[in-house]
Structure 1
């Protein structure tokens, strides 16, 4: 069969492997907002304050460069999902194009990434709730939040999607409000910031990169990690009403979301107030809202960040459960985890993932600075591994298309394979930067231990079981 004939074959219009058994309850509106919410988190609302104090206005360039790499990764994922939509997403693609070991490591690493992230996020939610009810123990509010999110994930995928829709809406409204207020200050000069606000702050206060280019690049790991979670829309393929259409729309609008919610927000923040006036560890949004004179600015932002934490945990339960069930369907996790409830939800996988997250609440409360500095670093490294596997899987897919072994699709990654290698080089550069920092270096050590453990488990148990079946 020639390559031309393969390309003319109609693609399967089904959206997921029939054995997955999921019900299609996620509409375009929900997936679009999930895609937006996945790119907005506490890294922007609070973490950007530390970045501004460290590298100044050049943080905008860091987010723009990282955003371009993320877009290339998501376009590669979009082409793979158009080829074969599946709730296992990048783990299934890694298994198909890079071998079963790659799929095993990717699946379990991504599961661990979300479980670890949720342990920290739900505990953070407890601290945010304590802003209003300080007498209630943090562990109690954190556990309550986790139980509520568990219930939402067990009722229906539609309820999960609706919760995520409104969580994302709160975050979007907060950012848009800040941008509108900031533009108003710059244009009309109202509030106490009016006399000093100017776009000249982007270059006049020590230059665009006041501490030098290398210091600015050293901020890239933190910037890249702020984008973690944007890929989770790929896991909705098994439950989206029309995944090929909705996922394509979500991925194609990613540059707009990055331009508005990251580049636009940071540009406004750094224009209305000089970077030298931002305090590390304090939300830059709070500082601007307070300076403008908005009543209850701290309380408003506490609610927004609480929403961001609950959104991350809600998405984490969803993502972790779908990933571990996909592993079970491939014989790489206990068979009991592969079951579905009467509502076509992965009940055992949801419960297992949530129980592990719940156990982490206690650990985080007892030792928040030591244990979780290392366990959450698995999340960061697993994210880099996942993105790299998406790019490598896409390279392998394209090589099979060129060989006439697979049909081409209409939604193609621009500039491939050159753009694949550019994105992979950028991820490798981030890893190099991580080795130079005492804050991120331990994460690489933890990842090495985790990877070694997975390799041993695969060689001892999974590979042997596969050989016995054959």
Structure 2
């Protein structure tokens, strides 16, 4: 009897409806909103509201396509299985490893945000040394590693409460901001809270078309993680009932958490006073002269970034488990503990995310490090999103009977799939407009070379030599 016999052999459905709903919300309220919106506002001004609505609409169609396909075949554990089945093993190989690496970069970006938020507690003008930043980053990863090693249900509980904190905080911010606007609150700096602050400082497009387009660069990073519902499907009870609820709530979440919260921020604090390297949610209360509220909000954004990292660690470990099961990663990565946790995949993924500690050491400027890691993961995630939509187009052509029988059809079908694909390609092109994001875009093809070597040099020959039969779904 092997050691594996003493443990689980497959992922378990331990996540309930409330876990799935809050995981979906947590994925929609990420570090990009709390940390990245400061830079996005400085680039795009009030047009950030339009940017978030456009991206939110496209992501909704993406998730409807993903939802229809997952529910059409409950043997799909994630969109990697879909890509493998509908577009071939090479595409499945690309999606699995690219999604894994994307979440590693998300973890690195989140580590830079943690350090940035913690500087709030330092004396004015003080900052952490590169060594301190690296140690803080390492400590965060180890803490979340220990949490995730216990049980799948604990991950769901942690994400549930992290998401609750974010939701309550944003609603409280919206209520507080609305009160400030209604009472024409005047900050110590002389700014008067008013809804007119949104358009009275250069209009909705103060930086012109270039500023509007540049705003997409960081804004789309805020939506990374929304597809996490697709990787938790294998561990969700009653997916046919719970998955549609999570997907259909996306438009409401975008309007409430992105649009309304930023309307409040830019009403209380003119967008021209928002600092690119700070969280506007914390700065709002500081500028308003309410330090206690600013302290609370800083704790909230800290919990938010920990939530994002927690989701990333969960996703990378599950993706590594799936890759191992498909012989695309070392067999040892498919080991599961008695509680159904892919421990080896978890340890390996956390070790890679720990590379964010090195990033903090060599790039101590937190906003520069955040932009570097954030842009790289954005490119990777967009490529995965495009492949999901290509899977949908293939699914419609090759499995028309499944689409006909579906009770959760994607609105607009194939036509909207092409529209969203064009939008995502356009978004990648926008990354070439700014120097900091252009650098990430230039180096990203290296990953294609690495994957090509891995697929043609190791994976394909091994499958051929073993005469492994094609996977059936």
Answering whether residue 36 of structure 2 is matched by residue 34 of structure 1, we say no
SS in 2 for 1:342: coil
Answering whether residue 389 of structure 2 is matched by residue 430 of structure 1, we say no
Corresponding pairs, count: 451
Larger displacement relative to structure 2 (438-447 or 408-417) = 438-447
Aligned-partner Cα distance in 2 for 1:405–1:308: 38
State which of 101, 120, 131 in structure 2 corresponds to 1:112: 101
SS in 2 for 1:464: helix
Report how far residue 201 of structure 1 moved. Answer: 2.6
Aligned-partner Cα distance in 1 for 2:120–2:181: 32
Larger displacement relative to structure 2 (315-324 or 434-443) = 434-443
Aligned-partner Cα distance in 1 for 2:291–2:369: 38
Q: 1:179 to 1:217 in 2, by over 3 A?
A: same
Q: Which TM-score applies when normalising by structure 2?
A: 0.89
SS in 2 for 1:333: coil
Answering whether residue 140 of structure 2 is matched by residue 151 of structure 1, we say no
Report how far residue 255 of structure 1 moved. Answer: 0.3
Report how far residue 127 of structure 1 moved. Answer: 5.3
Aligned-partner Cα distance in 2 for 1:273–1:143: 35
Residue in 2 that maps onto 1:73: 62
State which of 132, 137, 140 in structure 1 corresponds to 2:135: 140
* 1:381-439 CA-partner distances (Å, limit 9, x unpaired): 1111111011110111111233x477631111101111101100100111221123222
Aligned-partner Cα distance in 1 for 2:170–2:315: 25
Aligned-partner Cα distance in 2 for 1:127–1:51: 17
Aligned-partner Cα distance in 2 for 1:286–1:163: 23
State which of 433, 436, 440 in structure 2 corresponds to 1:439: 436
Residue in 1 that maps onto 2:110: 121
1:156-171 correspondence to structure 2 within 5 Å: 156-171=151-166
Aligned-partner Cα distance in 2 for 1:20–1:230: 28
1:40-51 correspondence to structure 2 within 5 Å: 40-51=29-40
Answering whether residue 441 of structure 2 is matched by residue 452 of structure 1, we say no
| Contact 1:86–1:237 under 8 Å retained in 2 | no
Aligned-partner Cα distance in 2 for 1:308–1:225: 14
Larger displacement relative to structure 2 (104-113 or 285-294) = 285-294
1:93-104 correspondence to structure 2 within 5 Å: 93-104=82-93
Answering whether residue 336 of structure 2 is matched by residue 347 of structure 1, we say no
* 1:197-245 CA-partner distances (Å, limit 9, x unpaired): 3322332322211222342122212211221111112111111112222
Report how far residue 54 of structure 1 moved. Answer: 2.1
Larger displacement relative to structure 2 (48-57 or 354-363) = 354-363
Aligned-partner Cα distance in 1 for 2:370–2:185: 43
State which of 416, 432, 454 in structure 1 corresponds to 2:413: 416
Residue in 2 that maps onto 1:89: 78
**Tell me, which stretches of 5 or more residues in structure 2 are unaligned?**
1-7, 123-127, 468-473
Q: 1:65 to 1:289 in 2, by over 3 A?
A: same
| Contact 2:133–2:357 under 8 Å retained in 1 | no
| Contact 2:109–2:369 under 8 Å retained in 1 | no
| Contact 1:130–1:138 under 8 Å retained in 2 | no
Residue in 1 that maps onto 2:215: 219
Larger displacement relative to structure 2 (229-238 or 135-144) = 135-144
Report how far residue 279 of structure 1 moved. Answer: 2.8
State which of 252, 265, 270 in structure 2 corresponds to 1:256: 252
Q: 1:142 to 1:20 in 2, by over 3 A?
A: same
State which of 225, 230, 234 in structure 2 corresponds to 1:234: 230
Q: 1:63 to 1:376 in 2, by over 3 A?
A: closer
Report how far residue 159 of structure 1 moved. Answer: 0.7
State which of 392, 395, 398 in structure 2 corresponds to 1:400: 398
Aligned-partner Cα distance in 1 for 2:184–2:173: 15
Aligned-partner Cα distance in 1 for 2:88–2:405: 21
Q: 1:378 to 1:215 in 2, by over 3 A?
A: closer
Answering whether residue 262 of structure 2 is matched by residue 266 of structure 1, we say yes
Aligned-partner Cα distance in 1 for 2:54–2:444: 25
Aligned-partner Cα distance in 2 for 1:293–1:468: 69
| Contact 1:20–1:238 under 8 Å retained in 2 | no
Aligned-partner Cα distance in 2 for 1:127–1:282: 8
| Contact 2:13–2:237 under 8 Å retained in 1 | yes
Aligned-partner Cα distance in 2 for 1:327–1:468: 18
| Contact 2:191–2:269 under 8 Å retained in 1 | no
| Contact 1:123–1:139 under 8 Å retained in 2 | no
| Contact 2:205–2:212 under 8 Å retained in 1 | yes
* 1:1-41 CA-partner distances (Å, limit 9, x unpaired): xxxxxxxxxxxxxxxxxx97112211111111111111112
Aligned-partner Cα distance in 1 for 2:330–2:409: 36
SS in 2 for 1:23: coil
Residue in 1 that maps onto 2:383: 385
**Tell me, which stretches of 5 or more residues in structure 1 are unaligned?**
1-18
